[in-house]
Amino acid sequence: MMTLRKGRYDVRTAETAEQIREAQHLRWLCFIGARDGSDPSPDALDADDYDSRCTHVLIRDIASGQLVACFRMLTLSGGAQIGDSYSARYYNLSRLRDFDGKMVEIGRFCIHPGLRDPDILRLAWGALARHVDSEGIEMLFGCSSFMGTDTQGYEDAFAMLRERHLAPKRWLPRVKAPNVFRFARALRLRKPDPRLAMAAMPPLLRSYLAMGGWVSDHAVVDSQLNTLHVFTGLEIRAIPPARAKLLRAAGA
């Protein structure tokens, strides 16, 4: 069981079915309710078959008890198990089968709509750093989501991903999903505006990239969750030492 308390927030892993339902409800608020304005009934859940296989991490406001953020983790012994990941439903990850270290897939990361406290994301990364160290993890990966399925307004962000952050060829995911935006091809002549690119980049993805993360050369159009997502990988040994020190301090 993971437990971490810093400032206003408490981080711990879910231990009961009710706590997992809380996470599933927050995910619904972030991915579905925020889109269609539906009444946030307690029974409104975002749930799938991976929930029973994952460890769920919950971040709460200590004073109110409100769940402010959550994500789930699926630990794999190495690349030979990459086909068991959620991401493998959308990307051909056969090149990652040769990765020989332990991996963790991070999924369904979300922060309660309306909350903009950067300490929440810092604490989430601190908790991840603790898990990485305790379990000997060598790669983090997952799907980083842009809200909506329209690429308009994200051109500079995708052009910057193409220019600076594509996966090394030995790990580069191939296309598998039926509906994708091949941004590396479509935006090959576009010079990104760094300011506009970073403004449009999801906070979680910005964190990955700042630590040396990389992405697929295409985005999957996910109509169910109303997102555009890119496969994102981060090799732990690639994290700059100064940033790794900060992450470990956040998780101490």
Residue 7 pLDDT level (bands cut at 50, 70, 90) = confident
**Which amino acid, residue 199?**
A
Distance CA 197, CA 102 (A): 32
Q: Calculate the alpha carbon distances from 26 to 143, 213, 240 in Å.
A: 18, 26, 32
Task: For residue range 92-151, list pLDDT tens digits in order.
Answer: 999 999 999 999 999 999 999 888 898 999 999 999 999 999 999 999 999 999 999 999
Distance CA 180, CA 243 (A): 33
Q: Calculate the alpha carbon distances from 43 to 25, 216, 248 in Å.
A: 7, 35, 37
- Judged by average pLDDT, the poorest of 20-34, 110-124, 153-167, 238-252 is 238-252
Every domain of the chain and the residues it spans: 3-250
Instruction: Tell whether the model's pLDDT for residue 23 goes beyond 90.
Output: yes
Distance CA 236, CA 212 (A): 9
- Out of 3.40.630.30, 2.40.170.20, 3.20.20.100, 3.40.50.880, which CATH number does the structure's domain 3-250 have? 3.40.630.30
- Judged by average pLDDT, the poorest of 34-43, 177-186, 195-204, 210-219 is 34-43
pLDDT confidence of residue 252: 66
- State percent of the chain over pLDDT 90: 80
Q: Mean pLDDT, the chain, as a whole number?
A: 93
Six token digits for residue 58: 């919950």
Task: For residue range 32-49, list pLDDT tens digits in order.
Answer: 876 655 556 778 899 999
